[in-house]
Chains A and B, each alone.
Chain A
């Protein structure tokens, strides 16, 4: 949506998507979050987790909208969206 001027309180009111926290102790590297993220923000990491599975990790945070699909699709309950109070 194009605005004719910048709102004065934009900085305050701008939404901040939550932080995607992936618990690598639980992740088994199935890849669903990576595959089905609508914005392709996640990728499989090159490292291995403690049980020897590869795990998913955030690749491009700027594209994340916080839709929460990764959180509900994860079969391992490994992903949580937490409030990102960075800078607040």
Chain B
């Protein structure tokens, strides 16, 4: 009932570039909204936040947030972010990437960065296709879904991203839809302060392409689908969280464990080498 006004988040956005390019109903805007609110909730020093993104609609996030941000090449946000973090460990490095960017061309970097437990937070906006190029199928497109390169229905199995990333060694794995605003904001805030590789998959509508080709041409249709079919199951068994076309969507915080990060081991190594020399 009592309401607190949120501080206008315009201070975190490049308002000179508004309105942004995302389509009406696109969930990337909501993911970004939750992201900047998550930063505020986590109380981070905004001068030390660095955002690295790849190519695609999700990749455009870097251009709209008012942090040190880098719009790099397709699939290569993670190695760039690795270099950034190792160059200045005080930075809080966030990677914003789409499903195709991070799991297809960037797949190798995804599993290795998770394996190393690099202290990076990845927010993967999954709209089940390559949106910017017009709606081609991608590694997360559900079986039988239509796209411009699967006009007869997709015959490939999609990745279950939380399963993949957890198996590779990530220490924080969650999946939310853009309808789960409060949970997403909280998840982002948790992931940002947690050391180690954090991965948050955010399911989003893509009304003009994926949505239209799969009979959900309005964002509202996809949002209703999330409303009806999503089930919050924190700590679910990841083997049972795959997404099928029209089927239930298991969301929640799946993994939240402790594991020494690459950066910590690196520091210990430097100390050891330094001691040996002094001796």
Contact = CB atoms under 8 A, between A and B. Distances in A.
A touching B, CB within 8 angstroms: yes
Given A69-B181, A74-B29, A77-B10, A26 B19 contact: yes
Contact of A30 (B2, B24, B179): B24
Contacts of B10: 77
Interface in A31-48: 31-32, 35-36
Interface in A44-73: 51, 53, 65-69, 71-73
B58 to A, nearest CB: 13
A31 B18 CA distance: 19
Contact of A28 (B19, B27, B182): B19
A6 interface: no
Contacts of B27: 75
Interface in B28-43: 28-30, 32-34, 37
Interface string A6-32: 000000000101100000011011111
Contact of A15 (B2, B9, B220): B2
B26 A75 contact: yes
Contacts of B19: 25-26, 28, 51, 76, 78
- Place the interface of chain B in its size category: 20 to 34
Contacts of B5: 18, 66, 81-83
Contacts of A51: 19
Contacts, number: 84
A30 B219 contact: yes
A42 to B, nearest CB: 14
A82 B185 CA distance: 21
A72 B18 contact: no
A65 B3 contact: yes
Contacts of B218: 31
B102 interface: no
Interface in B143-183: 178-179, 181-182
Interface of B: 1-3, 5-6, 8-10, 13, 18-20, 22-30, 32-34, 37, 178-179, 181-182, 185, 218-220, 223
9 contacts: A15-B2, A26-B19, A29-B24, A71-B6, A73-B181, A75-B29, A75-B30, A75-B178, A81-B5
Given A76-B18, A81-B5, 19 more contacts: A15-B1, A15-B2, A18-B5, A28-B23, A28-B25, A31-B25, A31-B219, A32-B30, A32-B219, A36-B223, A51-B19, A53-B24, A72-B181, A73-B33, A74-B29, A74-B33, A76-B19, A77-B13, A77-B32
